[in-house]
A and B are shown apart, each in its own frame.
Chain A
């Protein structure tokens, strides 16, 4: 593998990063090749010492994604970070991330419950209008109660969700590893 192939491979793997990041990262490696060549090294030996561009790209992606997740704390950002972590090391990733996915499913169920409660008055009205069920104040009264409970629970769910996202990001940050690849494996 020569310099062009290395950079090309790296560039294609970090495509999804913002432009500034890509430019910055690639210029680091360009500089590295320049220095190496000045010392009289061949491109091939420089590439051997650098290691696999795929592996390096994975590490870069994980670092970037976890960093984004830490600053935005959005579910999508955290999810992406978790996925790129699995991509970096499948076994470690699943071990670390398995619990996260389980908790995510539970939280999903929690939100579904909230949605169900909040929507109940609308369901009653829908039933009356569409299915011509007689309007019963009793049912409507209870559905409004459920709406209220749902709204309260949604506040709780927001707290829980934010907390879990924060913990997950902290856990990922703690676990970012530099995974050694044996020298000479390109």
Chain B
């Protein structure tokens, strides 16, 4: 699969997932890798980069099951960026689907 594809899509997925609620690193990574075939290790640098860009903030939360975990929250900028990416994706996938749906006889 095209690399540029995956790059854009991964950002979109992270933003979208965190838009629903806050997640801690491991949860988020697992959720993504359950749906997309990707090396999980690459997700942390991506989250780092998006956090530095101001789309997420992080906080530590105590956990009953052990050490405290680092949670990610989406910011206002992040939500705006998500909206942008989402509409880009819609346009893109609609276009592709139309092309894929065409038959040889051009009905």
Contacts and interface: CB of A to CB of B under 8 A. Distances in A.
B55 to A, nearest CB: 14
A31 B49 contact: no
A53 B7 contact: no
B12 interface: no
Interface majority SS (helix, strand, loop, mixed), chain B:
helix
A60 B41 CA distance: 10
Contact of B6 (A31, A67, A178): A178
Given A63-B48, A63-B49, A180-B1, A28 B70 contact: yes
Interface residues of B, number: 27
Interface in B62-76: 65-67, 69-70
Nearest to B38: A180
Most chain A CB within a 10 A radius of its CB, from B3, B42, B48, B70: B42
Contacts of B45: 25, 56, 59-60, 63, 178
Contact of A31 (B25, B33, B41): B25
A38 B7 contact: no
B70 A181 contact: no
Interface string B39-67: 11110111011001000000000000111
B44 A29 contact: yes
B26 A178 contact: no
B105 interface: no
A44 interface: no
B18 interface: no
11 contacts: A25-B48, A32-B25, A50-B40, A50-B41, A51-B41, A55-B39, A55-B41, A63-B48, A67-B49, A178-B3, A180-B42
Interface of B: 1, 3-4, 6-7, 10, 25-26, 29, 33, 37-42, 44-46, 48-49, 52, 65-67, 69-70
> Top 4 A-B pairs ranked by shortest CB distance?
A51-B39, A50-B41, A35-B26, A56-B41
